Structure 1
Amino acid sequence: MSPAPIGYYVHHQGEGHRRRAAAIAALAPGRFTLIGTGVAGLRGPFETLDIPDDRPQADGFDGRDDAAERPEALHYAPYDHDGVRARALAIAGWIAERRPALLVVDVSVEVAMLARLCATPTVYVRLAGDRSDPAHLDAFRGAQALLAPFDERLEDPRTPDWVRAKTRYVSGLAVAPKPAEPEANVVMVAFGRGGSRVTGADLAAAAGATPEREWRVIGPGEPPTPCPDNLNVLGWTDEPERAIAAAGVVVGGAGDGVLGAVAAAARPFVCVPEDRAYDEQAAKATALEALGAAVVRPRWPNAADWPATLDEAGRLDTRRIAGLHDPAGLAKAAAFILDQATS
């Protein structure tokens, strides 16, 4: 008799959730079903269940509604939203039909609550930052176990001891970069799908202040007008890890995807944390600075400050950021989830 399937709910904001889910599921062929909005395009030895979008709009959504009142155990529970209704029906229907051994929730307190109400244990993927609000704490309490996709040294000091004790910390969940020979004069700016407040004018000013360096930008964004000769806006790439590994210095936020790729490639890093709910990136940036693993700037530096900022990054001991990457992290995460599915 085949073992019961494992569901993996994939949040639709940002790219890191999808990449992490697909990489973990690929290590247990035929066992996982990835569930989420936009997962139908993912390819691998797993099933997918694409479910309706529940967002009020596709961009700028922080995962919370504007209701005057709602239960403290929920972040997002709007009235009269057909996407929310259809989404809950699809997840509950899949659970009823497939009788999964486990649902990995990456991430949604509402989906975790729905799974518990459908008699299904969860492993909750716990992101960084201050998640001590009632809704997150209830999701943590209701979970069979917690999985943090980052090194324990990046933990937020506000996290309660009981949450830490229930958490398995596993770094190295970014896709490993292919070997690349770094180009010392290349500054790689990496933006994730979660969005950035950096403008084309900001990029042009930085490149203009450092004419001896070649600036490359991957992720969303349009080239500025006019565009300096040493600035190349590449857009999306299928191999962001390889592009990051080839850079002399990487500039980016503190999202799991970018940070994971930088750590895996052991590249000098200028971290400019983006505004995210629950201080997720700010908390990680503070920890990176304390560890001496990155040059941290709270906002995009002025043009005149870029030469010194890049020089400072070049003096970093890259062994410190490399120490935040576990080469066996994906295998450990998959083994942990499979073990929880048999508990």
Structure 2
Amino acid sequence: MSRPIGYYVHHHGDGHRQRALAIASALQTPVTLLGTGLAGRTKHVAAIDLPDDRMSGAGFDGRDHGERPSSLHYVPIDHEGVRQRTALIANWIAKTRPGLMVVDVSVEVAMLARLASVPTVYVRLSGRRFDRPHLDAFRGAAALLAPFHPELEVDRLPKAIRGKTFYAPMIADTATAVRVDDDVVLGVVGRGGGSSSGELWADAASATPAFRWQVIGPATIPADMPPNLEFRGWVDDAETMIARAAVVVGAGGDGLVSAVLAHRKPFVCIPEQRPYDEQAAKAERLSALGAAIVPAVWPEPGQWPGLVERALRIDPAIAQRLTRGGGAGRVARWLEMLSDETIRTRSRSA
């Protein structure tokens, strides 16, 4: 039987966890998820809940604000959480002897796994990730996994990176047939950003009185609530609400983009600022392919009627093309094959 697979899950947003669970559920090989905040959130999949590595204080921005080796992104000095999580990962590797470690995402965890003599699969997110730490993590990986269609790839990608990349759209998303509410515009605010301004959503709803606007995720409540606007907060059926909407409005995060494409939804994509132009680069490709309407900034109220109408004219065949060749099962079979190959290669060289 194949040796176990380890899967590191980053704790920013929720897309990493959803992707990991979909792949883990499709694997026949034993798998353990490792990450912060996993306790009680991995269903039937084995998991190790790691201490938090974030520095205390409001407004944490993912930086350690100190000098570091040029191959690393985040290595704060004298941080007990970092120390303990490093020890737990290394101890799990030593005891379990995994055949493969999937890293979604962390340059430091990828380096740690390689130092512990484990081949890695590094998950490549969208954006222009051509800095020294990312390139070293890509170079050190046995393979790279991109959770999107190759047509959504950034321009000027080095050939060596493309050659190592396994493209896999729709890992955690499956389309279901539901009745579409032709007058509903769904605003989606993800976990990865801050609270959205209710006033902006109110302006958009007021400018399009023929549509009912529903907003899910964290948002402030406007002082003047138009009658065609409803704030739902966090919901358990976001996927169903996306499927039922006539138009979806939101940022360019992996989870939302994947769900919109899976359900062939007309999409107004307003990318948020992220490191390495992650959302901007993805939105550029969506716009270039005609898969989304992408305003440069949050629209003025008077622009919303035209934006919604343009979105409704998007050809659903574009989304169908961008979801072809996806699925968690396909990724699971690839990982198992890759794990077996690396084990055989090590056995021959021993």
Q: Which residue of 1 aligns with 2:65?
A: 66
* 2:73 aligned residue (72, 75, 87): 75
Match of 1:28 in 2: 27
- What's the RMSD between the two structures over aligned residues? 1.6
Does the Cα contact within 8 Å between 1:131 and 1:159 map onto a contact in 2? no
**Unaligned stretches of 5+ residues in structure 1:** none
Instruction: Please state if 1:39 is matched with 2:38.
Output: yes
Q: 2:164 matched to which residue of 1? A: 166
Structure 1 residue 198 displacement after superposition: 3.8
Which residue identity lines up with residue 296 of structure 2 in the other structure? P
Extract unaligned runs of 5+ from structure 2: 342-350
Contact 1:30 1:47 in 2 (8 A): no
CA contact (8 A) 2:50 2:85 kept: yes
Which amino acid letter does the alignment assign opposite residue 17 of structure 2? R
- The CA deviation at 1:79 is 0.4
Q: How many Å apart are 1:29 and its aligned residue?
A: 5.1
The one-letter code of the counterpart of 1:32 is V
How many residues align? The count is 341
CA shift, 1:298, in A, is 2.2
Equivalent position of 1:150 in the other structure: 148
Alignment TM-score, normalising by the size of structure 1: 0.95
Contact in 1 for aligned 2:195/2:219 (Cα 8 Å): no
Distance 2:184 2:38 in 1: 34
Give 1:342 shift: 0.8
- What amino acid is aligned across from residue 323 of structure 1 in structure 2? R
C-alpha displacement of 1:128: 0.8
Contact 2:207 2:304 survives alignment (8 Å): yes
Check conservation: 1:219, 1:236, Cα contact below 8 A.
yes
Show the counterpart of 1:212. 210
Tell me by how many angstroms 1:239 deviates: 2.3
Measured in 2, the distance between the counterparts of 1:229 and 1:158 equals: 47
Note if 1:303 corresponds to 2:298.
Answer: no
Instruction: Provide, for residues 6-48 of structure 1, a one-character-per-residue CA deviation record: whole Å limited to 9, x for no partner.
Output: 1100000011000000011001256110100011222333201
Q: Partner of 1:104 in structure 2?
A: 102
Superposed displacement of residue 210, structure 1:
1.1
Alpha-carbon distance in 1 for matches of 2:195, 2:306: 22
Q: Counterpart of 1:25 in structure 2: which amino acid?
A: A
2:331 and 2:232 map into 1 onto residues whose CA distance is 32
Q: State which drifts further: 269-278 or 192-201.
A: 192-201
Name the aligned partner's letter for residue 40 of structure 1: A
**Shift of residue 223 of structure 1?**
2.7
Percent of residue pairs identical: 51
Deviation at 1:136, TM superposition (A): 0.1
Q: What is the CA–CA distance in structure 2 between the aligned matches of 1:159 and 1:328, rounded to whole Å?
A: 21
1:254 pairs with one of 234, 249, 252? 252
Q: CA deviation at 1:328?
A: 4.1
CA contact (8 A) 2:3 2:29 kept: no
